[in-house]
Structure 1
Amino acid sequence: MSPVERAISVVGGASAAGRALGITPQAVGQWRRIPAERVLTLEKISGIPRHELRPDLYPPPAVNAEVGAAAGSACDASDPAALSSLEAAE
Structure 2
Amino acid sequence: METNLSPHGALMRALELAGSQAKLGKIGGVSATAVQKWISAGRVRAESVLAIEAATGVSRHDLRPDIYPRPQPKTAAEAGDDGEALSPWDTGEYANYDPNLDLFPGAVH
Instruction: Report the TM-score, using the length of structure 2 for normalisation.
Output: 0.57
Indicate whether 1:77 and 2:87 are aligned: no
Structure 2 counterparts to residues 1-90 of structure 1, below 5 A: 2-31=9-38, 32=41, 33-61=43-71, 63=72, 65-66=73-74, 70-73=77-80, 75-79=81-85
Question: After the TM superposition, which parts of structure 1 deviate over 4 Å for at least 4 consecutive aligned residues?
Answer: none
Unaligned runs of 5+ in 2: 1-7, 86-109
Deviation of 1:70 (Å): 5.0
Deviation of 1:2 (Å): 1.9
Which one has the largest radius of gyration? Answer: 2
Which structure would you say has the larger RCO, counting Cα contacts within 8 Å and 6 or more residues apart?
Answer: 2
- Aligned-residue CA RMSD in angstroms? 2.5
Instruction: Report the TM-score, using the length of structure 1 for normalisation.
Output: 0.67
Length, aligned pairs only: 77
Paired-residue identity, %:
36
Unaligned runs of 5+ in 1: 80-90
